[in-house]
């Protein structure tokens, strides 16, 4: 009886601990939600007042009032900064100079091979414990490498260039790589490439205003062009598929966010132009769930969340994530696609001068957990598939910075 009593007490203690942990997590999540709402409300009022205040620049009271608004905005941005940044601590592991421009970086599934652009060259690196060592240089493209995508099921990757060409590369070992012939269906810069989960299809977008659909042949390492999607009226910057891969979203310089639906014979077709209140160009878009994606505009200091509502995607304004207003006049750039790791609940994106690490809360709100100030708006990077390392190259310093992401 005494033994049973001890066991019962242990179970009760365990249940009490679990309830405490869940309650604590809920409290932290609610705190972050409140912060985001305060930021959203504060930003809204500051924007309204600032637009009116500009009419009174000649009055002596103008500058003191403007200083008050600036201080209020800074205080709100930093209100819960300490609590947010306890989740991930980046630790600088290594740096390495590279003078030539690097628009794209990818890793193999194991995080042992890194592939990066270096002007019109592709560099193959060994990657181990946050250190990189060059093992090969591939020179087949005629112009800058703009996009790279690495297979998750085979030892190959695909590259895209500013001359509109796409190549498929395969390797029998880590050091010797062989290129397919170049494919020139695009006639301008390649801005984005994604592959389906079973890797039978490649989808590419370009400055030629089009989206191209390709089939991938693993056996012969060939691409076959299938058809084009045309609706955008300017450069198509970013693409993303939802979880079931029945919905494709694209955004571009024409301020359009377009939904494409997979229909008869698995053909993609135009479905919807998504309304967006900022009327800005879109640089990056990424599905987080079957019916939800995030979108990063060119100038506004925020990340927008869109949800499928009765068959139509609409912005959930209450879920906007607001960034600090220190972009110093810089706008977002293409390349460096939004990274989402569902198993780590990690979102990584570049906004202006920062690389941001974010998490999705249990109720769908998104919170910033870490910011890296790069002092450079032209940065391009990637995260290893296990979420352990972040690496980026910056045009100002012309070097790679490698960080280990320490989760707490």
Tell me which residue has tokens 């960080």.
Answer: 403
Longest dimension (CA), the chain: 85
Number of Cα atoms under 13 Å in the Cβ half of residue 152: 10
Rounded mean pLDDT of the chain?
Answer: 84
Band of residue 63 on the pLDDT scale cut at 50, 70, 90: confident
220 membership: H or E segment, kind and range: none
Global confidence as pTM:
0.79
In this prediction, residue 11 carries a pLDDT of 40
> Tens digit of pLDDT for each residue in 272-313?
999 988 888 999 999 999 999 999 998 888 999 999 999 999
> Tens digit of pLDDT for each residue in 243-257?
999 999 999 999 999
Sequential DSSP letters for 254-266: TS-EEEEEE-GGG
Q: Does residue 96 or residue 73 have the better pLDDT?
A: 96
- Of the listed ranges 103-112, 137-146, 172-181, the least confidently predicted one is 172-181
Band of residue 72 on the pLDDT scale cut at 50, 70, 90: low
68 membership: H or E segment, kind and range: helix 62-77
Residues 6+ apart with CB under 8 A from 99: 398
Q: Are 113 and 124 in contact (CB under 8 A)?
A: yes
Q: Are 216 and 201 in contact (CB under 8 A)?
A: yes
> Tens digit of pLDDT for each residue in 79-94?
443 333 346 889 999 9
In this prediction, residue 14 carries a pLDDT of 44
Determine the distance from the C-alpha atom of residue 214 to the mean position of all C-alpha atoms in its chain, rounded to a whole number.
23
Band of residue 269 on the pLDDT scale cut at 50, 70, 90: very high
Q: Does residue 353 or residue 400 have the better pLDDT?
A: 400
CA atoms of 163 and 111, how far apart (whole Å):
29
Q: Are 248 and 219 in contact (CB under 8 A)?
A: no
Band of residue 218 on the pLDDT scale cut at 50, 70, 90: confident
């Amino acid at each position: 009886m005494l033994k049973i009593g001890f066991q019962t007490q242990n179970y009760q203690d365990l249940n009490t601990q679990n309830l405490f942990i869940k309650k604590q997590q809920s409290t932290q999540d609610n705190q972050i939600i409140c912060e985001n709402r305060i930021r959203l409300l504060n930003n809204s009022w500051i924007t309204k007042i600032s637009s009116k205040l500009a009419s009174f620049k000649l009055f002596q009271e103008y500058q003191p009032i403007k200083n008050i608004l600036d201080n209020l905005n800074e205080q709100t941005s930093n209100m819960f900064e300490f609590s947010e940044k306890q989740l991930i601590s980046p630790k600088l592991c290594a740096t390495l100079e590279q003078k030539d421009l690097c628009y794209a970086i990818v890793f193999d599934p194991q995080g042992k091979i890194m592939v990066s652009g270096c002007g019109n060259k592709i560099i193959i690196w060994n990657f181990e414990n946050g250190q990189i060592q060059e093992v090969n240089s591939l020179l087949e493209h005629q112009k800058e490498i703009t996009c790279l995508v690495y297979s998750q099921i085979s030892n190959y990757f695909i590259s895209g260039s500013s001359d509109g060409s796409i190549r498929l590369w395969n390797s029998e070992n880590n050091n010797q790589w062989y290129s397919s012939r170049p494919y020139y269906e695009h006639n301008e810069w390649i801005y984005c490439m994604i592959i389906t989960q079973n890797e039978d299809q490649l989808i590419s977008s370009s400055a030629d205003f089009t989206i191209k659909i390709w089939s991938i042949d693993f056996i012969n390492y060939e691409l076959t062009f299938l058809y084009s999607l045309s609706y955008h009226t300017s450069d198509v910057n970013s693409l993303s598929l939802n979880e079931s891969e029945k919905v494709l979203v694209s955004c571009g310089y024409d301020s359009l966010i377009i939904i494409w639906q997979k229909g008869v014979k698995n053909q993609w077709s135009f479905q919807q132009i998504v309304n967006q209140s900022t009327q800005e160009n879109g640089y990056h878009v990424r599905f987080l769930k079957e019916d939800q994606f995030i979108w990063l505009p060119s100038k506004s200091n925020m990340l927008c969340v869109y949800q499928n509502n009765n068959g139509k995607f609409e912005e959930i304004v209450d879920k906007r994530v607001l960034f600090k207003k220190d972009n110093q006049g810089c706008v977002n750039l293409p390349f460096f696609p939004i990274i989402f790791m569902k198993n780590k609940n990690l979102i990584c994106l570049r906004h202006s001068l920062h690389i941001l690490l974010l998490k999705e809360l249990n109720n769908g709100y998104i919170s910033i957990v870490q910011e890296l100030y790069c002092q450079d708006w032209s940065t391009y990077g990637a995260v290893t598939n296990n979420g352990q390392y972040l690496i980026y190259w910056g045009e100002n310093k012309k070097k790679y910075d490698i960080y280990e992401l320490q989760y707490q």
